[in-house]
Amino acid sequence: MNRFVPALLVLLLGFTTPFLLEAQSAAELQEQISSHQAQIDALNREIAAFEKELTSIGAKKQTLQSALDTINVSLKRTTAKVKAAQTQIASLELEIRQLNGHIGDKEAAIAIDSAAIAEMVRELNSTDQASFLEMILAEESVTDVWEKADNLQTIQGTMQQHVLSLEEVKDELTEDRDATAEKKGRVEEQRQILRSEEESLAVQKREQQSLLTETRSQESNYQKLVGQKRASREQFENTLNELESRLEYTLDASKIPAAGKGVLRWPVDSVKVTQYFGNTAFAQSGAYSGKGHNGVDFKASIGTPVKAALRGTVLGTGNTDATRGCYSYGKWILLQHQNGLSTLYGHLSQISVSQGQSVVTGQVIGYSGNTGYSTGPHLHFTLYASNAVRIQSLGSASGKSTPCASAVLPVSPQSGYLNPMDYL
């Protein structure tokens, strides 16, 4: 009797279960992943505590000590964020190793099962080519003939089940590979976050040193600096408002998108508006020369990543602080978008893009700060109709000699300003 068929059946049935990751290694990987997640959870609680402390400091009177406290707590918070990003990357890399182990198991199972099925097909083809008479003559008894026929029928049924099992393993393999690709993408996202947080940390350290140098650690020097900024800001606002009220511009609604939520994305991840657009209560109290606020202010501690509200091109960047005695937007970026809108980001501590550069929605373009005239770290966000705004020196536009005359910044007729909240 041909003994190959039952032997093949035994072989086939023996490999219907895929290889498994070595138990101890798999358990160790899972233990490490769980440990990393626990660390991330602890760091997130630490970050939340620092954010609460920052809110408490911000409610206090503006002093040199409160300014330094704000920077110091921000440094601690960002350090925790760096550690959280590093831990998240390590956890994701462990999960990728775990998935790669599963993929190896499934590939080995597929290889073995495919070889077994191929042998079965060859055996069945060989049997099908032999006539029933030849089978009888080849065997020692009729009983052997029927035994062989019964074995072949069993193998055919088993092969059908095994083919279905093999298809399931292939589907699982595809899912594992997709999951691996997704986790690799998340690793890269976390690496970008890590780079951003590390840069934020460096920005805050420079800001801390600059503040200490500028004030010589004296409260009187700090208050004198605040007073100078306030006086310069009032002069700047008067000049800019007078200029912009003289400029003529009629808004063409067909050149800009209709107002609607989601046209623009938020320029910061944690959204808290501290000053709205237009004739707010603060504006009515005498701020902004009684002309209303030309943008929206977002709470943002020094070093907070600032992101492009929409895909576009960097129309220009500048730093009004470079003009001695001029305190307005400080470090600023102006983006022009393809839909007829332009956005300004002011009071930055660092600019990370250059004129003419293309940016995508959500790309980090700089870091928030306290440059220009600012009563505390925040992001000033202005929205313009693109064909209304242009970049020029304030002196060439107004014809007046002021401390800000040589400062270069975006200028627009008052009718060219739009309410950002209509589009965010």
Helix or strand holding residue 25 (H, E)? helix 23-58
Average pLDDT over residues 388-408: 80
Total count of residues recorded for the chain: 424
Give residue 415's identity as a one-letter amino acid code. Answer: S
Give residue 55's identity as a one-letter amino acid code. Answer: T
Span 301-346, pLDDT tens digits:
888 999 999 999 999 999 998 888 787 899 999 999 999 999 999 9
| HSE toward the beta carbon, residue 268, CA cutoff 13 A | 24
- The pair of three-digit structure tokens given for residue 403, joined into one six-digit string: 């401390």
Instruction: Give residues with Cβ within 8 angstroms of 399, minimum separation 6.
Output: none
Instruction: Assess whether pLDDT exceeds 80 at residue 40.
Output: yes
Measure Cα distances from 3 to 8, 9, 138 in Å: 9, 10, 13
Instruction: Give residues with Cβ within 8 angstroms of 190, minimum separation 6.
Output: 85, 88, 89, 92
Residues 40, 91 contacting (CB under 8 angstroms): yes
Q: Are strands 408-411 and 312-319 parallel, antiparallel or unpaired?
A: unpaired
Pick the CATH number of 255-422 from 2.70.70.10, 3.40.50.300, 2.40.430.10, 3.40.366.10: 2.70.70.10
Measure Cα distances from 257 to 121, 261, 264, 357, 413 in Å: 65, 11, 11, 23, 19
DSSP assignment of 136-169, as one string? Answer: HHHSSSHHHHHHHHHHHHHHHHHHHHHHHHHHHH
- The pair of three-digit structure tokens given for residue 207, joined into one six-digit string: 């800001």
Instruction: Assess whether pLDDT exceeds 60 at residue 70.
Output: yes
- Pick the more confident residue, 88 or 19: 88
335: exposed, middle or buried (Cβ count in 10 Å: 0-12, 13-18, 19+): buried
Span 83-131, pLDDT tens digits:
999 999 999 999 898 888 888 888 888 887 787 777 777 766 665 555 5
- Pick the more confident residue, 244 or 56: 56
pLDDT score recorded for residue 124: 64
Average pLDDT over residues 212-239: 81
Q: From CA 161, how far away is CA 96, in angstroms rounded? A: 31
Mean pLDDT of the chain: 82
- The pair of three-digit structure tokens given for residue 424, joined into one six-digit string: 């965010």
Residues 112, 11 contacting (CB under 8 angstroms): no
